Chains A and B, each alone.
Chain A
Amino acid sequence: MSPDPAHDRTVGRGAGQAAYPPVQVTSPTFVGMPKFPKAARAELANAQQRRNLRHATHTIRDKRAHVVAEVDDWEALRVKGADAKDEALTHLADYLERLEESLTANGAVVHWARDAAEANRIVVDIVRAKEVDEVVKVKSMVTQEIELNEALEAAGVSAWETDLAELIVQLGHDRPSHILVPAIHRNRKEIRDIFLREMGAVGRPAPDDLTDDPARLAEAARLHLREKFLRAKVGISGANFAVADSGTLVVVESEGNGRMCLTLPETLISVVGIEKVLPTWDDLTTMLQLLPRSSTGERMNPYTTMWTGVHEGDGPQEVHVVLLDNGRSHVLADRVGRQALRCIRCSACLNVCPVYERTGGHAYGSVYPGPIGAVLNPQLRGTTSDIDRSLPYASSLCGACFDACPVRINIPELLVELRGKVVEESGPTPESTAMKAAAWVLSDPRRLATAQKAATIAGRLAGGRTIRSVPGLGAWTNARDLPTPPRETFRQWWVREHGNEDA
């Protein structure tokens, strides 16, 4: 966190800040990652991905709008969701202790991990003690964040991803590109080829006559993975929610692979970020309405599993929970920034983001892509790498993400704060002065509207020329030819194209 006193207003008292240096280590996978503009330029060249993404984000967006409109008072629900998370976050120590107590009382073993290395060590030790050479996993972003699969692999343990999309990503030796549909950048023909080529090497091969019909592809995955589910001794999961007062963990999913991993193995290890805590059982009422509708645009997702420690005679008889910090306490110390920890990973903000729609998830250099990734990654990892310094600029600040967010995270506000921080850290330069002005303009919607109108007028004056670079916005505008400032502002365009639905 910046030691600059100028930032005191955004940093919680946090006397110990200096003692707890940031944060996560930017993983080796992403350390060499070019900054967002460069990565984005590469991804922009991928027309297939762009077509898939456009189709996907628009389809989910429309479904979401439909089921959100069904709820009597969506706004009240959003406020309740934000409140529940804020309550948990602002009294996190109390609720974590409560959670630990309830989990322990119900037979679970609770572990604490300061960072990724510690969490991985804990998990690897448990797995080693079970003397197995494979585990089944249900998708969890947190285990991707800590790169648990790599740690297990190094320990000689194969970690099988079991979500269809994750399976596609894993078999394709690829990285995920969307929180919800990680294989969104692959089309059915590519998936068929990956299955035919790779499945046989790691288990039951795909049938020779496999077509690219999605039902056939899903069937191939069912058969391939079933063999692994039925014999697995250890399952690894994350959790969408951890209820402090009851000790209940919740996994929300669609395919049933979650149920398989949570039910069939003898030992279950769940890695849970400390921000997943909910104060009380009743808070599930709110979350179980917000999450499925925002995420997949369904009234309810097909399967939700709730377990409270060990249930005698039913499911895993050895249950471990690893509570992970890995930079979260650092984010929590920032009075403005802490709201990012409310995130329930629904991906609604991705689906409405004009930048994400064009660049895809890989350009963000993290498991957390899209608008929330642009905020969370620099928060969690600090702004020492090129990629993390450039992420706060990966946004047009149109505000669509805030409107879509079920827990009311003000992403545009956070991006502007982070931009200020990045600029402060690079010392006073002409750019930093410009950015301070930009932050000032962008932090207030009215100022922004005025500035956008001014730019629109400039656009009329500039005529049809393309502007290649804008002083002070070099990093982001260099990635693509910045169109001449538009003749209408984004807001004007949005209202014209979409009516006032999101205004």
Chain B
Amino acid sequence: MRRAVQKLALVAESATACSSLHQQALAPLCTSATSALAQGASQSPLCQSNYRGRVFVPASTRGFAANSHDLFNQHKDTPDNNADNVFEWTEANLKRAQDIIDRYPPNYKASAVIPLLDLAQQQNYGFLSLPAMNSVAKMLEMTPIRVYEVATFYSMFNRSKVGKYHIQLCGTTPCRLQGAQHLQDTLEKTLGIHIGETTKDGMFTLSEMECMGACVNAPMLAVADYSGGVEGYSYNYYEDLTPADTVKIIEALRKGEKPKINSQYRNKAEPRGVIQDGKWTPSEGTLTLTTPPRGPIVTNPDL
């Protein structure tokens, strides 16, 4: 264990060293490693390097793993995630797990791996520790590496400790166009953390996600609530957000209240409107696609 911590410290050291190097080949190394440092202490030494006039984003906002929360696609021992930790299914969850397994033919047991990992993640306060994944592997008679492959592939599986509320901000184009960047700035200011980090009190983890399919109500964020185990687990979308709404939601969550879910301004499709310049702007009629489409555009004259 001690070895692993030392190793991390080493990586971190070399990362700080490399921030002064303007060497592009090292940049990816130092981005992931600095964020490793940032995990421990929430203020991160910025790792910037100039390459043909481009300035790289602060290191802690870019990790290497499939989601912005886990930094590595390999396991690194930490005090709360190593082979010596214990993961025991609760009585109720064991039954749930069995129900899930029963849904699949016995010779295709492995099909249950995703729902089971999800269950284990809920029970384990929001992240899959090594023992949690191993117990899923054992239950499904899979070799552990096959389970690790699945867990590292999907961004919704966390492999390092997260806060009670996992705030997942959509960062894909439609949401961006509607002001996701403002939400990000607001969240970072309110919570005092960057994307990929957890608040000191362990309440919130902030992540960036790809499109979650709610673009019609962009911008949006999703909150996974791990404060109450499997029974109290919820995964809610908050849509049509202004920066002010976002702050309200955070405050409510902090107080343990249940903020309004889904769109903050409409019920189903009504009333019409969009978030514009950080404000809810009602609109009459169609805002886009108002002219007839231009005819088929053919680039290949032979067709």
Q: Do A and B come from one complex?
A: no
Which residues on B are within 8 Å of A, measured CB to CB?
A: none
